[in-house]
């Protein structure tokens, strides 16, 4: 296994990104497919939309380009755009959801990507839930499994993109996607950097992460339990939950700039800043 030096430069550098998002125009919690969801608790739709708009404008203020895929009635979780695909210079991989409630999102995202020059999109045979479980860190492609994405999907993605995939097993149902337990802080191949909550992974996966990223920031349960790891970084600015105060302090100590954005209403569906954001790499 290749060991990566995660020693980062003293001065952090922000890299402009192109993101795909989906407004929560039809967002509600009408079913329960993760521990964060409570169908009996009312959702404030206007507040969810306002929080989403703040996230979008925050990205734009930081210099990033934001594209928006139209939302669709009957698909309340479509706001979680990260689950819509994995888009890389080697190709775009579509998704196949574990739960039938979300199945319709897959083709909506695939069609948008193809219509906007990011296709052809591979329609997967095995269940994978996009950037929820497939995260690019420099030359590494980390892939989660255990709750949503099938382990077999890792090999499928490997074959489609022609790049190796490192499998990581999730063991805590609260952290059902990789992006709820691990933040990609810097995806520059010269100095890749991540933060993660060890308790979300089995022992073998913790060992793998230590080997790949020996200088990674390891967070605590208090950070993970407010979905603090579900954050978006451009290599300098880290957009995260304002409730993840200790995480913000740790990031500051490493030279990153925390940018708190309240997405508490969207957290009712089990998603934070990263869940709402698909990176378009072309």
For the chain, state the CA radius of gyration.
Answer: 17
Residue of 64, 122, 191, 275 marked catalytic: 275
| Count of structural domains, the chain | 1
Residue 10 domain flag: no
Residue 177 domain flag: yes
What is the pLDDT at residue 11? 87
**Phi, psi for residue 130 in degrees, rounded to 5:** 60, -145
Across the chain, where does the E strand assignment appear?
18-21, 65-68, 86-88, 91-93, 121-122, 134-137, 140-145, 166-169, 182-186, 193-196, 217-218, 232-233, 237-240, 257-260, 278-279
Nearest C-alpha neighbor of 75 from the set 111, 94, 46, 99:
99
Residue 108 domain flag: yes
- 22 catalytic per annotation: no
Any idea what the CATH number is for the domain that residue 120 is in? 3.75.10.10
How many beta carbons lie within 10 A of that of residue 9, not counting itself? Answer: 12
Q: What is the pTM of this model?
A: 0.95
Give the total residue count for the chain. 282
Residue 9 domain flag: no
What is the pLDDT at residue 149? 98
Residue pLDDT tens, the chain, 282 long: 433 334 444 589 999 999 999 999 999 999 999 999 999 999 999 999 999 999 999 999 999 999 999 999 999 999 999 999 999 999 999 999 999 999 999 999 999 999 999 999 999 999 999 999 999 999 999 999 999 999 999 999 999 999 999 999 999 999 999 999 999 999 999 999 999 999 999 999 999 999 999 999 999 999 999 999 999 999 999 999 999 999 999 999 999 999 999 999 999 999 999 999 999 998
Residue 230 domain flag: yes
What is the pLDDT at residue 7? 46
Q: Which residue has the tokens 């979008």?
A: 56
Residue 8 domain flag: no
* 197-252 confidence digits (pLDDT tens): 999 999 999 999 999 999 999 999 999 999 999 999 999 999 999 999 999 999 99
Residue 6 domain flag: no
Q: What domain range is 159 assigned to? A: 18-279
- 275 catalytic per annotation: yes
Residue 104 domain flag: yes
Q: Are the C-beta atoms of 94 and 48 separated by less than 8 Å?
A: no
Residue of 177, 191, 237, 276 marked catalytic: 177
């Amino acid at each position: 296994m290749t060991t990566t030096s995660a020693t980062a430069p003293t001065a952090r550098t922000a890299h402009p990104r192109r993101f795909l998002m989906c407004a929560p125009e039809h967002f509600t919690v009408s079913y329960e497919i993760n521990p964060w969801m409570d169908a009996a608790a009312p959702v404030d739709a206007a507040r969810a939309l306002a929080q989403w708009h703040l996230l979008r404008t925050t990205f734009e203020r930081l210099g990033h380009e934001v594209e928006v895929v139209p939302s669709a009635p009957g698909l309340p979780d479509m706001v979680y755009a990260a689950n819509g695909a994995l888009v890389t210079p080697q190709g775009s991989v579509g998704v196949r959801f574990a739960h039938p409630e979300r199945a319709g999102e897959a083709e909506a995202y695939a069609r948008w990507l193809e219509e906007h020059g990011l296709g052809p999109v591979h329609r997967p045979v095995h269940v994978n839930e996009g950037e929820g479980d497939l995260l690019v860190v420099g030359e590494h492609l980390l892939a989660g499994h255990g709750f949503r994405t099938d382990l077999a999907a890792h090999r499928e993605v490997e074959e489609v993109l022609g790049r190796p995939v490192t499998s990581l097993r999730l063991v805590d149902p609260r952290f059902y996607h990789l992006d709820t337990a691990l933040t990609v802080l810097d995806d520059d191949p010269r100095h890749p950097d991540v933060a993660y909550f060890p308790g979300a992974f089995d022992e073998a996966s913790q060992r793998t992460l230590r080997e790949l990223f020996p200088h990674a920031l390891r967070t605590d349960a208090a950070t993970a339990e407010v979905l603090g790891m579900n954050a978006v970084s451009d290599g300098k600015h880290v957009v995260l939950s304002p409730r993840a105060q200790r995480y913000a302090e740790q990031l500051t100590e490493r030279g990153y700039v925390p940018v708190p954005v309240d997405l508490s209403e969207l957290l009712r569906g089990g998603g934070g800043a990263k869940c709402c954001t698909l990176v378009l790499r072309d």
